[in-house]
Structure 1
Amino acid sequence: MKNLVLATVLSFVGFTAFASVEAPELSVDKATVITVGDFEEINVSDLPEAVTTAVAQNYPTATVDKAYKNDKDQYKLELSLEDGTQGTVYADAEGNWIEM
């Protein structure tokens, strides 16, 4: 009987020890940088004119949803067409399409 009472007390103490662990506080006042592979997200308005012109010429019904840039001045563009089709294309700073 002593063993049963002792086992019950020890298990209760063990469960309450895990319950008292505090979670770290989440800080919301810091900027978040989103990196996809080697690409870092940029504003669509920061795209070079050559890239926006290439999109307009080759994909006239497309909207650039998100834009990313890597350290080689290559751009990853997430596009949406009017019919709901979405895709990703890559271009260099001069507006030439590249394969990744």
Structure 2
Amino acid sequence: MKKLIVSAAIVLGSFSTFATPVLNAKKVLQTVNMQEEYTEIKLEEVPAAITEALKKAYPDAVLDKAYVNANKEYKLDITQGDKKGNLFADANGKWIQK
């Protein structure tokens, strides 16, 4: 009888460990998108170094629009064939990865 009571206590005690609530720690991930402010400029205002770099890297590309930000980084909207895209360059004509 003692063995039966002891085994029942052990079994019931083991159930209590399964019944304990699991606290889920919810992690909050906050992302902040920093969008740089570009101002549209005339195509004639694009530095010659950038236009030369564009002709060298993409000879068939057509420059549609150009933008500049406060850091003198240029955003170029180009069309090459039937594809449109954006390129970024600094004032010296070096390409920037964004």
Same fold, TM-score > 0.5, yes or no? yes
Alpha-carbon RMSD across the aligned residues, in angstroms, is 1.2
Q: Choose 1 or 2 for highest CA Rg.
A: 2
What is the letter of the counterpart of residue 38 of structure 2? Answer: F
TM-score by length of 2: 0.62
Q: How does 1:69-88 map to 2 (within 5 A)?
A: 69-81=68-80, 83-88=81-86
Whole-Å Cα distance in 1 between the matches of residues 63 and 43 of structure 2?
7
Whole-Å Cα distance in 1 between the matches of residues 36 and 66 of structure 2?
13
Structure 2 alignment gaps of length 5 or more: 1-34
Residue 95 (structure 1) aligns with: 93
Aligned residues: 64
Q: How does 1:46-57 map to 2 (within 5 A)?
A: 46-57=45-56
What is the deviation of 1:84? 1.0
TM-score by length of 1: 0.61
Q: Secondary structure at the match of 2:74?
A: strand
The percentage of aligned residue pairs carrying the same residue is 38
Q: Secondary structure at the match of 1:76?
A: strand
Runs of 4 or more, structure 1, over 6 Å off, are none
Whole-Å Cα distance in 2 between the matches of residues 52 and 89 of structure 1?
12
